[in-house]
Each structure stands twice: as C-alpha cells, then as structure tokens.
Amino acid sequence: MVEDVFAVTRESLHDGGWLMVLRGVVDLFTAPELKNALAEALASAPNRIVVDLRGVTVLDSSGLAAIVGAHRRLVHTGGTLDIVVGDHGTALKFKVTGLDQLMRIWTAPPPVPVPASRVAVPRR
C-alpha cells in the first residue's frame, strides 16, 4: 500500500525550529531513516522540533526510541520536542510508555506554528 511507505519531510518554522511530518510505517526497518532525519534537524541547533505523526500508520518501539533520542539531545541544549498524534492508538503508546510526561503531546488540530516558507511578508 502506498500509504505504508515511510516518508519524512522537514520544514523550517518561523521561530527557528523544525516541523517534521512523518508518513507510513515507522518500524525497525525505517527507524534508522527517521533517526538520520532527526539528527540532520538537530545539527542546526533548533530551539524546537515538532514531529507530526498524523500520517503514520504503524509506530513501533524502534520509532519511539528514535524520537526519545532526539528528545534527549534537544532537551540537553535547552530545546523542546512536541509530538502531534492523530489517533488514540498513537497517543496511547506515548501514555503507556510514560513519554507523555517527558514531551508535549498534541492532538489534531495541533497548535503547530506556521512554517517559515508559508509566512506572508507584508508589502510596503
């Protein structure tokens, strides 16, 4: 199925952070790709990363581990990691593991800042 193919896109936010939108299956086989994408975002020393999981069809412990690793690195530098979940099952994984106590979990529609690429510049 096409919707099960893992994909991650990254957009800069107007506050210096990143919006990472995930789609498809995040499991043992695709978690390394997620980890690399998060590492690339962390390399710019952002103040915040928003990970949007609303398009994820499967999220296993490998995917959760990649997210936790990014969270730890970000908190170490004073940043925050926000998670956007789209369904009860995904939210429950964060609650059962206690991760909802470490990072902010949002449900749709999330208070995600507008990406910098979409911010209108006023004309003079």
- The domain segmentation of the chain, as residue ranges, is 2-111
Rounded-to-integer distance, Cα 109 and Cα 75, Å: 25
In contact, 82 and 106? CB cutoff 8 Å: yes
Q: Mean of the per-residue pLDDT values for the chain?
A: 88
Q: How far is CA 80 from each of CA 15, 31, 50, 76, rounded to the nearest angstrom?
A: 12, 21, 8, 9
Architecture of domain 2-111: 2-Layer Sandwich (3.30)
pLDDT at residue number 38: 98
Which phi and psi (to 5°) does residue 75 adopt?
-65, -35
Whole-prediction pTM: 0.85
Report how far residue 34's alpha carbon sits from residue 14's, in angstroms, rounded to the nearest whole number: 23
Tell me which amino acid residue 45 is.
A
Q: Is the pLDDT of residue 41 over 50?
A: yes
Is 108's pLDDT higher than 80? no
Task: Dump pLDDT digits (tens) for 49-85.
Answer: 999 999 999 999 999 999 999 999 999 999 999 999 9
pLDDT band at 122 (very low <50, low <70, confident <90, very high): very low
Determine the Cα–Cα distance for residues 5 and 54; give it in Å rounded to an integer.
14
**Helices (DSSP H) in the chain: which residue ranges?**
31-42, 61-76, 88-96
